[in-house]
Structure 1
Amino acid sequence: MKNQVILVSLDGMPAEVFKNAWEYHGSDIHVQELWTVYPSITVPAHVSILTGKTPEEHGIMENLVIEGPGYEKVSLYHPTKEEAMRIMPQDTIVHEFAAKGLKCGSINWPLGDGLPGENHSEDLTTHEEASGVRAAREKDKHAIELLKREMETGDKDFIAAHFEEYDGAAHIYGVDAVQTLDACAHMVAYIKELTETAKECGIEKMIFFSDHGMLDKEENFFPNVYVKEHGYEEEIARRQIYFLSDGSGCMQFYSRLSEEKNTAIVQCLRESGRIEKVLWLEGEAAGEEDKKLRRPRAILEMCAGGCSEDILDREEEKYHEMKGLHGYDPEHVREMNGFFLAYDPGNRLSLKGGKLKITDIPPMIKTLVMEGRTER
Structure 2
Amino acid sequence: MKLRIPFLLLFISIIGFAQSITIDTAQIITPNRFNSQEGKSKPYVIMISTDGFRYDYAEKYNAQNLLKLSNSGIRAKAMIPGYPSITFPNHWSLITGLYPSHHGLVDNFFYDYKIGKGYAMNKKENAEDGSWYGGTPLWTLAEKQGIVSASLQWVGSASDAGGKRPTYYYPYHEKFKPEEKVNKVINWLKLPEDQRPHFIAMYFPEVDGAGHHFGPDSEETKNAVQIIDKAIGNLVKKVNDLGLKNVNFVFVSDHGMIKVDGGNPLEIPAVLFNKDRFDFYNSQTLVRVHVKNSDEVKSVFKELKANKTADNKVYLDKKLPKYLHFATRDDRYSRIGEILLIPKAPKVFLEKNQTTSVGKHGYDPKLVPEMKATFYAWGPEFKNNVVVDEFSNVNVYPLVAKILDLKLENEIDGKLKVLKQTLKK
TM-score normalised to structure 1 length: 0.80
Question: Which of the residues 133, 136, 146 maps onto 1:88?
Answer: 133
Q: Which amino acid aligns with 1:121?
A: P
1:39 aligns with 2:39: no
**Alignment equivalent of 2:403, drawn from 352, 356, 368:** 368
Report the residue type matching 1:210 in the other structure. S
Deviation at 1:78, TM superposition (A): 3.7
CA deviation after TM superposition for structure 1 residue 330, in Å: 0.8
Which is helix-richer, 1 or 2?
Answer: 1
Q: Is the 8 A contact 2:119 2:126 kept in 1?
A: no
In 2, are the aligned partners of 1:284 and 1:294 still within 8 Å (CA)?
no
Alignment of 1:177 with 2:218, yes or no, is yes
The percent of aligned pairs where both chains have the same amino acid is 19
Q: Is the 8 A contact 1:221 1:308 kept in 2?
A: no
Q: Which residue of 2 aligns with 1:10?
A: 50
Alpha-carbon distance between aligned partners in 2 of 1:56 and 1:188, rounded to the nearest angstrom: 32
CA gap 1:70/1:273 in 2 versus in 1, 3 angstroms: farther
Task: Tell me if the contact between 1:13 and 1:338 (Cα under 8 Å) persists in the aligned partners.
Answer: yes
RMSD across aligned positions (CA)? 3.1
The answer on whether the counterparts of 2:279 and 2:292 sit within 8 Å (CA) in structure 1 is no
Does residue 88 of structure 2 align to residue 50 of structure 1? no
Q: Does structure 1 conserve the Cα–Cα contact (< 8 Å) formed by 2:101 and 2:330?
A: no
Deviation at residue 219 of structure 1 after TM alignment: 2.7
What is the count of residue pairs matched by the alignment?
Answer: 342
Which one of the candidate residues 137, 142, 145 is aligned to 2:183?
A: 145
Question: Structure 1: which amino acid aligns with 2:101?
Answer: E
Shift of 1:357: 2.0
Aligned residues of 1:81 and 1:113 also touching (Cα < 8 A): no
Deviation at 1:222, TM superposition (A): 7.5
Partners of 2:404 and 2:97 in 1: CA distance: 16
1:120-157 Cα offsets, whole Å, 9 max, x none, are 1224xxxxxxxxxxx57x55444333223223336112
Which residue is 2:370 aligned to? 335
- Unaligned 5+ runs, structure 1: 124-134, 288-292
C-alpha distance after superposition, 1:15-70 (max 9, x if no partner): 11223334655625333221221111010101111221211222322111213468
Which residue of structure 2 aligns with residue 195 of structure 1? 236
Question: 1:227 aligns to what?
Answer: 269
Alignment check: 8 A CA contact 1:9 1:161 kept: yes
Instruction: Judge which range, 78-87 or 159-168, deviates more.
Output: 78-87
Distance of aligned partners of 1:350 and 1:262 in 2 relative to their CA distance in 1, 3 Å threshold: farther
TM-score (norm 2): 0.71
Tell me, yes or no, if the aligned pair for 1:51 and 1:91 is still in contact at 8 Å. Answer: yes
Q: Indicate how the Cα distance of structure 1 residues 95 and 346 shifts in structure 2: closer, same or farther if over 3 A, else same.
A: closer
1:246-285 alignment, distance < 5 Å: 246-247=283-284, 249-257=285-293, 258=295, 259-267=297-305, 271-276=308-313, 278=315, 279-280=317-318, 281-282=327-328
- Aligned-partner residue type, residue 362 of structure 1: Y
**Contact in 2 for aligned 1:21/1:188 (Cα 8 Å):** no
**Alpha carbons of 1:299 and 1:188: their partners in 2 closer, same or farther (altered >3 Å)?**
farther
Distance 1:284 1:334 in 2: 24
User: Which of 43, 59, 76 matches 1:19?
Assistant: 59
Partners in 2 of 1:344 and 1:37 — Cα distance? Answer: 27
SS of the residue corresponding to residue 5 of structure 1 reads strand
Aligned with 1:170: secondary structure? helix
Deviations 1:204-239 (A, max 9, x none): 21101111100001136877x6322xx444xx322x
| Residues 1:208 and 2:251 aligned together | yes
Query: 8 Å contact 1:108–1:143 — kept in the other structure?
Result: no
